[in-house]
Structures are given as structure tokens and as C-alpha cells.
Amino acid sequence: MADQSPAFPSAAARRALGRQVYEQVMLTEAPSDDSPFAGAGLLDFVFAEVWSRPGLSRRDRRFVTLACVAAADTVRPIQEHVYAALKSGDVTYDELTEAVLHFAVYCGWPKGSFFAQTATEQWERIHAERGEPVPPPTPTLPLTTASDPELRLQGGEAAFKSINELEFAVPRDHPYYGAGILNFVFGEMWQRPGLGLRERRLVTLACVALDDTEGPVRSHVYSALKSGDLSYPEMKELSLQFAAYYGWPKGSFLAQVIDEQHERIEAE
């Protein structure tokens, strides 16, 4: 069935909707529309037609978008989207900082660094606007996962299989797989209580899609669909949100893999 774009009574009505959705999502005034980028692009398409779509909640779209702006590594969009995510209440501060950790693991610590700093700064800004003190941060310790390295590896193997919907885990005897993937990424990080599995999948899907490494794109699209954490229509909607924020070339591969993996699961 063909996907539908909205019909607008006029170009002015579309622009007006773009402004309205921009202000609902970003919680600041819409920008001037005197350039193709801001007018035809940002307002008429990204806000009037993408953010306004059903099929994925605004909260879901935020996790995808936050990962994209953090990876794009552009100062203002990171600040604006972090501000809007927190200020709207769509994402709590603990969820956001947990998403920063998840993002840093998937896109590296250097990009995580500015994202982490921005989370703190925008949280302070929101409290300053409200004239309220910033609440004390949630302590990092204790961890909820095992300290014993053997138990951590075992927990990592179990989580790896469960989260990736696989019968087997990667081998232990390799620094990348053992000390990295099993010991930390699945042995600790994915098991942290601060962020739900659906939200972790949204961040991960954006990260693997923007990294555009074939194996991880395939495996995370498969497990997101197979687990039922995201439905096929939601995943297709996600590929549009992602493409808007990270471009059509990478969106194209993600969209292709979503169809492929959906067919694979249907056939299982």
C-alpha cells in the first residue's frame, strides 16, 4: 500500500503547520523561513511532514534524533534537541544521561563527551529558567551487574543472546568480544536499569545506521523486529525519521535492511 503524504489546502497552510510543529517539538520560536534550508526544508518537510506523522511517538522520534545530532556533532542542534527533550518531559534526565552512555558506547567516547556535557548544561538551564535548584545526580554506584569477571562474562553472554535474539554468543577469547562486547557492552551497559529496552534499541538503530556497518545494521534491525520491541510499521517510520536527520544515502540502506529482515522473520 502506498505511503501517503498529507494534502495541504495551500503552501501557506503547510508552512504554518511546520511552524506550529516546530514550536511544539523544539519549544522555541520557529526560525525565519527566508532560505530554502529553513523554508522548503526544515519547516515544510522536517516539521510539517516528518515530525507531524503518526506511526512513531514524539518520544520515540526524540531518541532517534538525539543519536543523530550527537553523531553529527553540531553544537546548536545538540543543544536544542537536548533542551527540547528534557523541557518537554518526553525524556527524563536520568533517561537522557543513560542514553548518552549508550550512544557513547555505540558511537565512541569523543562524541559522547560533548553530548554528556550538553545534558548537564541544558538541565541546569531548564532549572535556571524555572528558578529551581538542580536536583542531585543519581549515584553511579552500586552497579546492578556482577563484579566478578567470570559472572560478568556469563551475564554478558546471556544478555547478548537474549537482546540479539541469537542462540549463540561471540567468543570470549578476543579483547574486542571478551573484554568489550561481553564484559562491558552486554555484561553491564545494556543491563543498566535507567533506560528501557525499546529506547536502547531506538538509540542503537540510529547509531548502527549512521555508522552504516553492514553486520551490525542487519543484526540490530533483526533483533528489534524479532523481539517485538518495534513493529515493522514502526521500523519503516523510523527509517524516515533517521533519513531526515542523517541523510538519504544511509537511510536507504537502513530501509532496505528493514524490508529484508522483516521478510526473513516472516519466513522463520
| Interaction residues for a copy of itself, span 12-31 (CB under 8 A) | 12, 14-15
Q: Which is nearer to a copy of itself, 52 or 162 (CB)?
A: 52
Closest CA to 250 of 240, 261, 262: 240
Q: Which is nearer to a copy of itself, 196 or 247 (CB)?
A: 247
**Cell digits for 139?**
549515584
CA 75 to chain centre: 18
Instruction: State in angstroms the smallest separation of the CB of 264 from a copy of itself.
Output: 17
Q: Which is nearer to a copy of itself, 87 or 236 (CB)?
A: 236
Instruction: State in angstroms the smallest separation of the CB of 130 from a copy of itself.
Output: 21
Long-range pairs of 27-36 with CB within 8 A, sequence gap ≥ 24: 27/83, 27/84, 27/87, 27/88, 28/80, 28/83, 28/84
DSSP conformation letters of 62-99: HHHHHHHHHHHT-HHHHHHHHHHHHHTSSS-HHHHHHH
Q: Does 153 bind a copy of itself (CB under 8 A)?
A: yes
Q: Where are the alpha helices (DSSP H) in the chain?
A: 11-26, 58-72, 75-87, 93-107, 109-130, 149-164, 197-211, 214-226, 232-246, 248-267
Closest CA to 188 of 141, 139, 220: 141
In the window 119-138, what residues touch a copy of itself (CB under 8 A)? Answer: 119-120, 136-138
Q: Does 176 bind a copy of itself (CB under 8 A)?
A: yes
Instruction: Give the x/- contact pattern for a copy of itself in 189-208, rule: CB under 8 A.
Output: x--x-x------------xx
Instruction: State in angstroms the smallest separation of the CB of 83 from a copy of itself.
Output: 14
Binding-site size for a copy of itself (CB under 8 A) equals 121
Q: Does 268 bind a copy of itself (CB under 8 A)?
A: no
Q: Does 57 bind a copy of itself (CB under 8 A)?
A: no
**Phi, psi angles (nearest 5°) of residue 189:** -60, -55
In the window 58-117, what residues touch a copy of itself (CB under 8 A)? Answer: 68-69, 72-78, 97-98, 100-101, 104-117
Binding range to a copy of itself, per CB under 8 A, among 20-28, 83-91, 141-149, 221-229: 141-149
Q: Does 255 bind a copy of itself (CB under 8 A)?
A: yes
* Residue 181 DSSP code: I
Q: Which is nearer to a copy of itself, 141 or 267 (CB)?
A: 141
Among positions 122, 188, 201, 224, the unique one binding a copy of itself when judged by CB under 8 A: 188
Instruction: State in angstroms the smallest separation of the CB of 253 from a copy of itself.
Output: 5
- Scan for cell 561481553, then name that residue: 182
